[in-house]
Amino acid sequence: MKRLIVAAGGGGDAVAAAMLHAALYGDKDQAMILTYAWDRLLIDPVPGPRGPDNFTGLHQLTPAVWAVPADARPIAPAGSTLPRLAAELPHTFALIDPHHGAEGITRQLEELISHLSPESIDLLDVGGDILARGDEPTLKSPLADALTLAACCQVNAPVRLLVAGPGLDGELPPDEVRGLLDTLIHTFTAKDVEPVGSILEWHPSEATGMLAATARGVRGTCEVRDAGLPIALTDEGPTVHEVDLDNALARNQLARAVMATETLTEAEAHSREICGHSEIDYERNKAAGLKGQQPTDLVPQSVLPRLDKFKAEARRRGVTHTTFRHLTEALNLNGTQREDLRQLLISSRPEQYTAPLWRITTNDPEPTT
């Protein structure tokens, strides 16, 4: 394997890494994609990231690095998208284990670099929250990115920091992200999306979903997350920029604070101190609130009128698209019903499906109340 790509925040960054590899390096060789097993609660109901002890069937690459093959399985009740990614993509996915802090991730990187002798090492972040200071009120999930940034800055090898889809994660204002970007490396096209097109049909990442949609030419305003955050889908959406790694570290207070951490607990404490919160605390609170919630039946006669009401209200807010995660929340459905909802809506309203987003039409009449 000639290329090592570190998915800064895990999840959708790992999918975007496959897009990046095909676009920049072609499809003749496979990449080693180092990524977290840290999925949304609708995939993994256990808060926080998973470590090697949470899987069966892993393949040990080095003393500290484990690959996640297609036949690996998370140990219940944990869940993970990584085995399915490994089954559907030709790349090798290796597990970032943050439970030993940034020092542990640095050790993993050093071992992988020694093991692979890669021609290039890219640290990829979709959206740009890796460039956050830490005190931004819109910042929701800084910890994973801060840990990978801190580790990449400590290895004795050149690492290139790339930001794809500036502003698409909704963590920092797009104007702020734009001012921090350096050289334009690539602009994704519809062809670049092809290697991951089928994955975006089931993968829950909203930011990478919008990255792919903008690469396919979608423009407008997309509502995401449970709160319905509006994200602008513009010509900047499919771009990939390089950012100086040292400049990113100088800006990111949390990354500097966690550099010497040896446990995830230490890193979380720094996040609470600098950012005022930890995303794992958010997941713990949300998981507690979801406990015992029973899914309701997806009856078209009930769901479709609620969809029409949501659509009318969204249009009045200037929204042109939304994600299936947001639709699931907006229709008061259980997160585990996201795929069932998607299938129902695609079969009943196929003209509104703009893969992997749902289009809010603008030429049909308002529903009567």
The contacts of residue 125 (CB under 8 Å, 6+ apart) are 8, 9, 13, 131, 145, 161, 162, 163, 164
Ranges 36-50, 111-125, 168-182, 280-294: which has the least confidence? 280-294
- The pLDDT score that the predictor gives to residue 293 is 66
* CA distance linking residue 246 with residue 149, whole number of Å: 10
Average pLDDT over residues 278-286: 93
Query: Of the candidates 110, 8, 104, which has an alpha carbon nearest to the alpha carbon of residue 51?
Result: 104
- CB 300, CB 348: distance < 8 Å: yes
- The pLDDT confidence band at residue 216, using thresholds 50, 70 and 90, is very high
- The pLDDT confidence band at residue 366, using thresholds 50, 70 and 90, is very low
* CA distance linking residue 364 with residue 360, whole number of Å: 10
**pLDDT for 367 beyond 70:** no
**pLDDT for 365 beyond 60:** no
- The pLDDT score that the predictor gives to residue 369 is 35
Strand 3-7 and strand 120-126: pairing? parallel
The contacts of residue 135 (CB under 8 Å, 6+ apart) are 253, 274, 275, 276
CA-to-CA dists, residue 59 to 10, 69, 94, 106, 123, angstroms: 19, 7, 9, 20, 23
- The pLDDT score that the predictor gives to residue 295 is 64
- The pLDDT score that the predictor gives to residue 363 is 55
**pLDDT for 292 beyond 70:** no
Element holding 92 (H helix, E strand):
strand 92-96
**pLDDT for 3 beyond 90:** yes
* Average pLDDT taken over every residue of the chain: 93
Element holding 67 (H helix, E strand):
strand 66-67
Write down the residue that tokens 């892993």 correspond to.
58
Average pLDDT over residues 126-139: 95
Radius of gyration of the chain (CA): 20
